[in-house]
Structure 1
Amino acid sequence: MRRIAFVKAWIFATALLASVPARAEIRIIQSPGGEVGPFLDLFEKVRESGDRVVIDGPCLSACTLVLSIVPRERICVTKRAVLGFHAARSVDRRGLFYAEPEASEAVLAAYPGPVRDWISRRGGLTSRLLLLKGRDLAAIYPRCR
């Protein structure tokens, strides 16, 4: 089910990118995350486009890579924005998750300093989902106008 939700989100985001002119606004309304590769590709295209990113709902897991790829001055958040962080993990052929500590370290290092500090103050990236929202989020990223 989670895979289907990711595929739907990816198809929607890809269609959205293909249909908007340069210097548009990309709005993240709800993303549960998913495989890292497609998100890296998508956010690289957004960065190259010069578009602004509006986080307007949950942006969880791999979706938070937007913070590492799109320049901070082109990201804003609404009151509905929630960023969810956890340690990197992979799935084996039997569907079992296993930790990827090196990948977690690389992801944490790639986040902007204030985000990295917020995560570190809460114990770092673990299997537990850390939610950055409200005043804490607004202290790091500007509210959208």
Structure 2
Amino acid sequence: MKFVTGLLAAVLLLAGMGASHAVVRIVDDRGGRIRTYVNRYQGLRSSGESVVIDGLCASACTIVLGAVPYDKICVTSRATLGFHAAWDFGANGRTITDHEATMMLYSMYPMPVRRWIAARGGLTPHMIILRGKVLKAMYKPCYLDAGHYFAVGG
């Protein structure tokens, strides 16, 4: 009986540790519909999970920067963020910039990201890329150790 109780305690301890260190890893996300990402990230924000950006996060994926608390996001050396204006299909089937959705996207980003975007001409139909030292200056770095990510700094 002692063994079963000890085993149960160990399982509960490990389950608790797993929940407190839950991580969502973004690797190759080219984006999609804004509403889909807003819904996804609202759930992520509520869960308290951390986000590791470990590759491409472009277009609507970048909503994560405004939806998830700053202290729950870290970036690896491979992290790349891609920003552009929101768009929709016009009556003739061609893409047109959706100015209202673009302003909503821009307003969701943290101020350092907004300043960086503004310094590059704002959100336009052309993708602008944020990565490397500039991105690492905005977000805490995270590293992979023994199969688990951890953030450095706070």
- TM-score bracket relative to the smaller structure: 0.7 to 0.9
- Partner AA of 1:48 in structure 2: S
Matched residue SS, 1:98 = strand
Structure 1 unmatched runs, 5+ = 1-19
Q: Which has the larger radius of gyration?
A: 2
Q: Percent identity?
A: 44
TM-score, structure 2 length as denominator? 0.77
CA distance in 2 between counterparts of 1:102 and 1:39 reads: 17
Larger proportion of strand: 2
Task: Indicate conservation of the 8 Å contact 1:84/1:130, yes or no.
Answer: yes
**Aligned-pair CA distance for 1:116:** 0.3
The residue that corresponds to 1:15 in the other structure is none
**Aligned-pair CA distance for 1:96:** 1.9
Q: Which runs of 4+ in 1 moved over 6 A?
A: none
The residue that corresponds to 1:107 in the other structure is 105
CA distance in 1 between counterparts of 2:56 and 2:134 reads: 15
For the pair 1:143 / 2:110, whether they are aligned, the reply is: no
Task: Indicate conservation of the 8 Å contact 1:82/1:132, yes or no.
Answer: yes
CA deviation profile, 1:45-94 (whole Å, cap 9, x unmatched): 11000000000000000000000100010000001100000001012476
Map 1:56-67 to 2 at 5 A.
56-67=54-65
Task: Indicate conservation of the 8 Å contact 1:23/1:50, yes or no.
Answer: no
Matched residue SS, 1:115 = helix
The residue that corresponds to 2:81 in the other structure is 83
RMSD between aligned alpha carbons? 1.6
CA distance in 2 between counterparts of 1:77 and 1:21 reads: 21
Matched residue SS, 1:90 = strand
Alignment length (residue pairs): 126
CA distance in 1 between counterparts of 2:135 and 2:50 reads: 17
Map 1:120-135 to 2 at 5 A.
120-135=118-133
For the pair 1:119 / 2:117, whether they are aligned, the reply is: yes
CA distance in 2 between counterparts of 1:23 and 1:42 reads: 19
CA distance in 1 between counterparts of 2:29 and 2:108 reads: 20
Change (3 A) 1:41 1:22: farther
Give the alignment partner of residue 69 of structure 2, picking from 68, 71, 84. 71
Matched residue SS, 1:143 = strand
CA distance in 2 between counterparts of 1:24 and 1:72 reads: 16
